[in-house]
Amino acid sequence: MLELYDKNFNSHLLLGTAQYPSPKILEDAIRASRTEIVTVSLRRETAGGKQGGQFFSLIKSLGVSILPNTAGCYTVKEAVTTAKLARDLFKTPWIKLEVIGNADTLQPDIFALVEAARILNEDGFQVFPYTTDDLIVAEKLANVGCRVIMPWCAPIGSAKGPRDVDGLRTIRANFPELSLIVDAGIGRPSHAAKAMELGYDGVLLNTAVAKAGDPVLMAEAFADAVKAGQNAFKAGMLDPRDVAVPSTPVFGKAVF
């Protein structure tokens, strides 16, 4: 089970809802992914007018939980204000907290992120902070009350996959009690499987599915990859070796 604050889920895949070719493909991709949680941008909902209302109705009809985000925010004040508006609109204390520090890499401003997380946690939010793979930042987010932390594996939309496996592994090892979700930079199902093999609790992605040649088939592939990676971690994988080890026993072989 995936435990996120006071809720439990069967699926360990979280899916974004932006950039899909059509509402129908979005709906089919969500179903194929078997996800139970989707992220939604407040800016898209409020700026979409009638179309935004139709989008929200579609999401509600699928019976999934909504994780609003503060995408596009660059300051503490902007992120906190957006989070409060999202709480009123979507009727949830959940917020995926993004405070961007660089417009090109979309790398989080970690100083503003920690401060915004502190303010929102004190205001009763259940914060899902999008952060880097830095152990100290994760520690500070935990210290201000975050029970879920979402480190990137590469910049948003880059599709590069895990760039610092050791960094991700270190965060996992230091916070066994927290729910950790790898967020951003995943481009292939194998990337998602790798994240789960590191012992992460889930994977959040968007572009890799939305921009695929067949988003629905790709969503299904990611669902299978996340499950495979989780099972591999639970089963216990072999550590890499520097020498070959024969699979056939040496003892008992015939002597001529």
Q: Which residues are annotated as a binding site for 1-deoxy-D-xylulose 5-phosphate?
A: 157, 184-185, 206-207
- Say if residue 48's pLDDT is above 60: no
pLDDT at 253: 64
Which pLDDT does position 238 carry in this prediction? 85
- Residue 140: pLDDT over 90: yes
**Active-site residue list:** 96
Look at 219 and 247; give whichever has higher pLDDT.
219
- Provide DSSP, 33-91: HT-SEEEEEHHHHHHSHHHHHHHHHHHHHTT-EEEEE-TT--SHHHHHHHHHHHHHHH-
Residues 147-180: tens digit of each pLDDT? 999 999 988 888 898 889 999 999 999 999 999 9
Question: What are the domain boundaries of the chain?
Answer: 2-235
- How far is the C-alpha of 96 from the C-alpha of 130, rounded, in Å? 7
Residue 53 confidence (pLDDT):
66
How high is the pLDDT of residue 158?
A: 87
Could you tell me which residues are annotated as the binding site?
A: 157, 184-185, 206-207
Q: Is the pLDDT of residue 10 over 90?
A: yes
Residue with the two structure tokens 């040496």: 250
CATH class of 2-235: alpha beta
Residue-wise pLDDT for 91-129, tens only, equals: 999 999 999 998 888 899 999 999 999 999 999 999 999
Q: Do 179 and 157 form a contact (C-beta atoms < 8 A)?
A: no
Q: Say whether pLDDT at 57 is over 90.
A: no
For residue 46, pLDDT over 90 is answered with no
Classified as helix, coil or strand, 159 is: coil
Q: What is the mean pLDDT of residues 132-148?
A: 96
Q: What is the pLDDT of residues 11-22, one digit of tens each?
A: 999 999 999 999
- Residues 205-226 pLDDT 10s: 999 999 999 999 999 999 999 9
